[in-house]
Amino acid sequence: MYGIYFIPSFYAHAVNGFFLLLAFILLYKNYSKIMMLEPYKMIILSLLLSISIGIHGLSHSFLEKNYNYNPMSIILR
């Protein structure tokens, strides 16, 4: 059995996490501009963020179920 670092879905999850972190950083840096957007654009932005977080959460579930990979157990040791 190969380790978690030889599984492509792990890298897809890591890249997704990086881009999600980048999105949060850009959201933080441009907060005042984002709050001035039209309501329709705010709804779209909120839905995109929700989809991104949901997909990342499903990726966590997949990795935990199939490969017993739980990064929270590493943090909480």
Query: What is the model's pLDDT at position 44?
Result: 96
What is the value of pTM for the model shown?
Answer: 0.79
Query: What is the model's pLDDT at position 46?
Result: 95
Long-range pairs, 63-70, Cβ under 8 A, ≥24? 63/4, 63/9, 63/10, 63/13, 67/4, 67/7, 67/10, 69/4, 69/10
For the chain, list residues with pLDDT below 70.
1-2
Query: What is the model's pLDDT at position 2?
Result: 65
Query: What is the model's pLDDT at position 29?
Result: 97
Query: What is the model's pLDDT at position 49?
Result: 95
Query: What is the model's pLDDT at position 71?
Result: 81
